[in-house]
Amino acid sequence: MAVGDNIFGQCGVTGATTTKIYAPFLWQPNDYYNDNYYEVYVYAGTNIGVTKRVADWVLADYLLTVHSAYSAACDATSYIELHRIFTTDELNKAINLAIESFAGSYLIDLKDESTITLAANTYEYALPLSMHYLTKVTTEHAANGGIFYECDEIDGRIWSIIKAYPPKLKLNQDYYSITAGKVLRLEGQGAQSTVDDDTDIIHLPPDWLVQKAITRLPQNKIQSNNLADTYRNALILSEREPTSYPNPKAKAITE
């Protein structure tokens, strides 16, 4: 995030243990990272998602000691971030607050193959709440096959949407024959979900999202770390929100 609080790079194995990280990309003198209260977060590879506090740093060995042991030593698959001002939790919350502030305003393409499995004599099915518009419904070619052909698309005149809570897909039983066990693929548009994992994908424009997230960081830390100008600039840059529009062929799921 563009607040000058992110050092990152790839780890190695030389001298690495469950409490020591080999970090050859770091350059500051001995004890710099522990004296300045850095936090280390593994964002890829072994120990992904784990946050630790830096307890010691030896430049000659490029070994960063953490306050408690990992379940396994970080290795060459591990990529880490170091933060001094904002904690990983604060940064993640700021990103999700930025996403939530834009929920429903910016539509992203969605495809769902897990929500609806057809059941005998059942013609109404709850739709995923993340989907705001539904464009296309396709029946699985064979149960448990995971294959969806264009020829198996359900005619839009045969399905409709019940705008209740939760919203439902209604199939016209006079024109659609149920085969129990088949899955329906739903294609449409909806809101970006909040994220809680490094493998989650964010579809919002990244330049806008970064600036919006800065405006959601803790104000006391913004002020105490002389980031007021950065904050004001982020307010200006995030004021003009990106836009997207529903597919003209889509049916609205919510009002």
Residue ranges per domain, the chain? 7-84, 92-104+194-239, 108-190
Is the pLDDT reported for residue 255 higher than 80?
no
Is the pLDDT reported for residue 139 higher than 60?
yes
Whole-number pLDDT of residue 190: 92
Residue 254: band (very low, low, confident or very high) from pLDDT cuts 50, 70, 90? confident
Is the pLDDT reported for residue 57 higher than 60?
yes
Percentage above 90 pLDDT, the chain: 85
Average pLDDT score, the chain: 94
| Over residues 149-161, mean pLDDT | 96
Whole-number pLDDT of residue 187: 97
Between CA 168 and CA 128 the distance in angstroms is: 9
Is the pLDDT reported for residue 188 higher than 70?
yes
Whole-number pLDDT of residue 3: 78
Is the pLDDT reported for residue 213 higher than 90?
yes
| Over residues 35-47, mean pLDDT | 97
Is the pLDDT reported for residue 103 higher than 90?
no
Is the pLDDT reported for residue 23 higher than 80?
yes
Lowest mean pLDDT among 60-69, 197-206, 223-232: 197-206
Whole-number pLDDT of residue 10: 98
Is the pLDDT reported for residue 1 higher than 60?
no
Is the pLDDT reported for residue 13 higher than 80?
yes
Lowest mean pLDDT among 31-40, 219-228, 240-249: 240-249
Is the pLDDT reported for residue 234 higher than 90?
yes
pLDDT tens digits for 62-99? 999 999 999 999 999 999 999 999 999 999 999 999 99
Whole-number pLDDT of residue 105: 80
Is the pLDDT reported for residue 2 higher than 80?
no
Whole-number pLDDT of residue 154: 97
CB burial string 150-182: b at 16+ within 10 A, e below: eebebeeeebebeeeeebbbebeeeeeeeeeeb
| Over residues 189-213, mean pLDDT | 91
